[in-house]
A and B are shown apart, each in its own frame.
Chain A
Amino acid sequence: MTSSDKWQLGGRHRKLGAMERMRGVARYTDDLRLPRMLHAKILRSPHAHARILSIDASRALGMPGVIAVITGSDMPTPYGVIPWTTDENALAIEKALYVGDGVACVAAESEELALRALKGIEVEYEVLPAYFDPEEALAAEETINPYARKGNLSKKVELEFGDVDAALHGAALVIEADYEFHGTTHGAIEPHCALAKVDADGLLTVWSATQVPHYLHRELAKVLETPARQIRVIQPPLGGAFGGKSEPFDLEFCVAKLSQITGRPVKLLYTREEVFYAHRGRHPMKMHYRVGFDASGKLLAVDAKTVLDGGAYSSFGLVTTYYSGQLLCAPYELGAYRFDSRRAYTNKPACGPKRGHGSVQPRFAMEVSLDKAAVELGIDPIDLRRKNAMGEDCLTVNELRVGSNGFLDCLAAVEEASGWKQRRAKLGFGHGLGVAGSTYISGTNYCIYPNDMPQAAVQITLDRSGRARIFSGASDIGQGSDTMLAVIAGEELGLPTEDIRVLSADTDLCPVDLGAYSSRITLMVGNACLEAARKLRKKVTQSVAKRWECSPKQVNLVAREAIDMHDPERRAPLVEAFQWAEADHGLLGEVGSYDTPKDRHGSYRGGAIGASPAYSFTAHVAEVKVDAETGEVGLVKIWCAHDCGTAISRGLVEGQIEGSCYMGAAEVVLESHGVNSEMGGLHHGPSLLDYRMPTTLDTPEIEALIVEAPDARGPHGAKEAGEGPLHSTIPAIVNAIYDAVGVRVDDLPVTPAKLVRALAAQAEKGGV
């Protein structure tokens, strides 16, 4: 078929489950209630770093309605989402490592009784020196994490490609500066929640607001010392995740263990404050960049030195440390490249993956450096990016194989839509336009735990009522992956999405999927789904062809009908075609699976990290109005063009672009996950009042522009859309602020006070 034959692909679809959510009847984890259910609460450390000398729960256990109390020694096996860095216990054993670290968990007949019982648990602490600055932690003698092997150095990566020193030495222009990313969190509106029950046969079922049911399944088996076959993990509808629910958390182990101990269902819902302590948000990074250019603006070399503030645990930190360097090597040819990234343990909530894992911070440093170079060289910033664009089917300096690449089209799209050429020079003081570009992965070629099995699998069955069921382990976290699967299957099988049931994210019912992270689902699970759907299509078209005595190739399945493409008058209802096929083949079920290519990365150590089957590309133009007297930045409009390969469902792609822009914009001017020495390691304001996420009055107008450069490795050419469009939002806004008022703030967030100070310093120098 040619693309013009597509009847579902690239259309607009109502998201599966959308009406349930709009009507308020979707059942989230906290909506689930089971008979005899207990409620659990976790006692948390008030100290940023303290040895636990003793825990006495006898008073709590004597309180009416209190059923059980567990502590770290009840679950001594350490875990970690990355198998090489298992440095976390379900509850602290030897030491508490940050304010909010879990120390004990109580199960009681009601939430209120559980809360009151926390005050009946006596913990004796020996307070230890705490470190809130990564460089101070690296220099300290005291080791924060008891499982750490190299003091407070959580991970170090040093890689060099080409001769950076020589290239910088010969450069006509070197932009050298220190950049700082401050740290932000996800802000999913649904707090983490988990419910566990053990049935009479010993099967443990855990419902959890997670985006990685499979990894949770594995870690539960390990920590609870219970065979994985005796555990079932179910992910109910999720109220947002954004990377903040992509590994196991204390509450899941606690409810499971307490359920095993008490024989009763146990539920635990985090408070908003606990969500801030669970964190795993974007790492604060201190970045020293030297970026060299020749006189024409050609990039010669990048030298990046980065310190990552990891918090108390590794989380995905090993990967984050690699990503902070590895993902910078597109969409520009870098010439030579060196990065030195060090992640430190600190006595703070652990950082981890947030939408655009590890690469949002360096992208900010890089794109601001490019903007500075454009000014120095007198080149239009869009033209400077064009000049350095790497193009399609090429190898990056760190040996990643890039396939399709729509970056130049993205640049052209935002240049045109924003009126860049006509408007930019004419905007007065205080009013500016800024540009930035970026790239991101569509999943990673290597799984978190090494194995030879496929990364994704889907099973589809058809039944004689004329519908399809898709069984997929993938986690729909609001991004619409269930809908994406329904569109892909419906396209092949002639079914509109409303005739397709997607059963996802249940480890008993569905094939294994690794989860919703690193923007992997559309490409990987989409490919697996396409394979299964095509096998079924073949069976159905064969059965139709047999009855019509024609070639199966001329049978098309569209809009609930089988149609003879050579004789469009000849049609049969799809339900009848399915019945013919079931008569011929028996139960109509097929599976599809997908594994990543293993030949698209460098052979050096670490070369596989950051390698993806396909890369998305993005360009942003941001328009701002700055009040130079108050330092307030008004976000007027953002144009974002994103190359998603092929848009499987346009509305969903646009939704991801818009959501990414909002999230990124808030990280520039509003949100800050503040934990430092000023408040003794306490979070400055662990609430949605003090952690200022934008309201509708604070968000700019957004124009989402879809660019399609289909990649041979994606299903119908599709690549990712969920994370890439966040990256260049941030530097585009920062560059627009410079365009507006002529000063730069290289440490985020751009607060009014910082901007006023920068403008005052500029005025003192006689500038502007």
Chain B
Amino acid sequence: MLPLLRTPVATPHTLEEALSLLAEPGARILAGGTDILPNLKRGLGSPSTLVSLHAVDALRGVSVGDAGLSIGAGTTLTQVATSGDVKRMAPSLAEAAESVASPQIRNMATLGGNVCLDTRCRWVNQSDFWRGALGGCLKSAGMNPEASFAQAGVCHVVPGGKRCVAAISADTVPVLIALDATARVASASGTHRLPLAELYVNDGVQNLALEPGEMLLGVDVPTHAGARRERYVKWRVRGSIDFPLVSAALRFDLDAGALTQARLVVGVLGARPKQVAVQKVALGRPLDQALATELAELAHRQCKPLENVPYEAGHRRHMLRVLVRRAIEALADEA
């Protein structure tokens, strides 16, 4: 087995303590550990300290307020998936949380960890030895100071590419964007909020718009009083464990059978989720078979998966079209 090299772990009990520890250069957050620990075993990162959040109770829990759901970053994916409030007010979020990995992993993994999940690429998520054999790449070269990689500026997915296209692979993120969620972010100097969609930038090396020392406190999902249909779909090869190979979150708000709002957010393309432009086609129309076909075509036209995660990009694109169409057909049947 690959041993985890020794790294100091700090265990703060309050948010303030956690934020001050995180302000130290090179400090990283350890929440559920299901993403960072396998990555560290493979030499992806070399934090000076791991700031464990397991004793910071303030980060955990689902609450319901006037504005909607508020979910702490430290809430486990199992808690998100099984929460009655989440299932009632944001069923597609519960669906996405439940589709992550396996039950044991969901018992450990947190919503914050999933929102901040590192991007993935079949040329990066390998051992230090494996990446070293190829000389590294745009993303991996900077992640391990002990490795001396020859090809730090190379992209193996897009030859000649200068921007890393490692894929956002978090199941909950497309859903949260589709539901207009906002992120609560804190640092030692204060707290601010931003639309979740703005948390991501188009760079696979570091796709989070977080400054060093900043931490996600939680997400807020606004409520919707009227009729809404929503769903999360993902393609993966096995029925469990696997990361999504392509994914889509769908949300449709209806008034008297006509769409007043439509969102289609696609994951696992590049470093950030893609919002497919569907409003022009969808608004004012009923949720029906014809719309399902049209929106699936739109998604297919606007989304081009890359060879950054396993399985042929062409088939992943095909699967996106099928999954979107079938999801809307199913939602239309519900309506």
Q: Verify B3–A112 contact, CB threshold 8 A.
A: yes
Measured between beta carbons, the chain B residues less than 8 angstroms from A752 are 315, 319
| A680 contact from B2, B134, B240, Cβ within 8 A | B134
Measured between beta carbons, the chain B residues less than 8 angstroms from A112 are 3, 5-6
| B133 contact from A47, A629, A695, Cβ within 8 A | A47
- State the CA gap A703–B127 with chains docked (Å): 40
B25 at the interface (CB under 8 A from A): no
Give the number of residue pairs across the A-B interface with Cβ within 8 Å: 80
Measured between beta carbons, the chain A residues less than 8 angstroms from B312 are 753
Question: Among residues 245 to 269 in chain A, which have CB atoms less than 8 Å away from a CB atom of chain B?
Answer: 269
- State the CA gap A273–B131 with chains docked (Å): 13
B180 nearest CB across to chain A (Å) = 30
- State the CA gap A47–B102 with chains docked (Å): 35
Q: Verify B1–A191 contact, CB threshold 8 A.
A: yes
Q: A629-B322, A685-B122, A695-B238 are in contact. Are A272 and B132 (CB under 8 A)?
A: no
- State the CA gap A111–B3 with chains docked (Å): 8
- State the CA gap A670–B241 with chains docked (Å): 14
Q: Verify B133–A680 contact, CB threshold 8 A.
A: yes
Q: A630-B322, A682-B133 are in contact. Are A695 and B1 (CB under 8 A)?
A: no
Measured between beta carbons, the chain A residues less than 8 angstroms from B3 are 111-112, 115
A230 at the interface (CB under 8 A from B): no
Q: Verify A682–B241 contact, CB threshold 8 A.
A: no
B277 nearest CB across to chain A (Å) = 25
A99 at the interface (CB under 8 A from B): yes
Closest to B309 in A: A690
- State the CA gap A353–B303 with chains docked (Å): 44
| A695 contact from B122, B126, B129, B239, Cβ within 8 A | B239
| A272 contact from B1, B122, B134, B235, Cβ within 8 A | B1
Q: Verify A685–B133 contact, CB threshold 8 A.
A: no
Q: Verify B238–A670 contact, CB threshold 8 A.
A: yes
- State the CA gap A576–B237 with chains docked (Å): 62
Closest to B148 in A: A119
Q: Verify A99–B133 contact, CB threshold 8 A.
A: yes
- State the CA gap A112–B238 with chains docked (Å): 34
Measured between beta carbons, the chain B residues less than 8 angstroms from A686 are 126-127, 130
A106 nearest CB across to chain B (Å) = 14
Q: Verify B322–A271 contact, CB threshold 8 A.
A: no
Q: Verify B2–A692 contact, CB threshold 8 A.
A: no
| B318 contact from A46, A271, A694, A756, Cβ within 8 A | A756
Q: Verify B314–A685 contact, CB threshold 8 A.
A: no
B63 nearest CB across to chain A (Å) = 33
| B129 contact from A44, A670, A689, A696, Cβ within 8 A | A44
Q: Verify B1–A269 contact, CB threshold 8 A.
A: yes
A386 at the interface (CB under 8 A from B): no
Q: Verify A690–B133 contact, CB threshold 8 A.
A: no
A240 nearest CB across to chain B (Å) = 15
Measured between beta carbons, the chain B residues less than 8 angstroms from A534 are none
Measured between beta carbons, the chain A residues less than 8 angstroms from B240 are 695-697
A684 at the interface (CB under 8 A from B): yes
A392 at the interface (CB under 8 A from B): no
B310 at the interface (CB under 8 A from A): yes
Q: A46-B133, A119-B146 are in contact. Are A271 and B1 (CB under 8 A)?
A: yes
A698 at the interface (CB under 8 A from B): yes
Q: Verify B134–A273 contact, CB threshold 8 A.
A: no
Q: Verify B129–A273 contact, CB threshold 8 A.
A: yes
Q: Verify A273–B318 contact, CB threshold 8 A.
A: no
Q: Verify B129–A690 contact, CB threshold 8 A.
A: no
| A684 contact from B122, B133, B146, B237, Cβ within 8 A | B122
Closest to A627 in B: B322
Closest to B132 in A: A46
B242 at the interface (CB under 8 A from A): yes
Closest to B38 in A: A689
Measured between beta carbons, the chain A residues less than 8 angstroms from B1 are 191, 269, 271-272
Question: Among residues 217 to 243 in chain B, which have CB atoms less than 8 Å away from a CB atom of chain A?
Answer: 235, 237-243
Measured between beta carbons, the chain B residues less than 8 angstroms from A751 are 311, 315
Measured between beta carbons, the chain B residues less than 8 angstroms from A692 are 237-238, 242
A120 nearest CB across to chain B (Å) = 11
Question: Among residues 174 to 193 in chain B, which have CB atoms less than 8 Å away from a CB atom of chain A?
Answer: none
- State the CA gap A630–B237 with chains docked (Å): 11
Q: Verify A753–B311 contact, CB threshold 8 A.
A: yes
Chain A 633-662 interface 0/1 with B at a Cβ cutoff of 8 Å (1 = within) = 000000000000000000000000000000
B73 nearest CB across to chain A (Å) = 25
Question: Among residues 30 to 47 in chain A, which have CB atoms less than 8 Å away from a CB atom of chain B?
Answer: 44, 46-47
A117 nearest CB across to chain B (Å) = 12
Q: Verify B315–A272 contact, CB threshold 8 A.
A: no
A104 nearest CB across to chain B (Å) = 14
Q: Verify A685–B126 contact, CB threshold 8 A.
A: yes
- State the CA gap A191–B243 with chains docked (Å): 24
B-side residues, CB < 8 A to A, are 1-3, 5-6, 102, 122, 125-127, 129-130, 132-134, 146, 235, 237-243, 310-312, 314-315, 318-319, 322
User: Given A46-B133, A756-B318, 4 more contacts at CB 8 Å?
Assistant: A46-B132, A670-B238, A685-B310, A686-B126
A-side residues, CB < 8 A to B, are 44, 46-47, 99, 111-112, 115, 119, 191, 269, 271-273, 629-631, 670, 679-680, 682-687, 689-690, 692, 694-698, 751-753, 756
Ordered nearest first, which 3 A-B pairs have the shortest CB separation?
A697-B239, A46-B133, A753-B315
What are some 15 contacts across the A-B interface (CB < 8 A)?
A: A47-B133, A112-B5, A112-B6, A272-B1, A273-B129, A631-B315, A670-B237, A682-B134, A685-B310, A686-B130, A687-B126, A689-B242, A689-B243, A697-B239, A752-B315
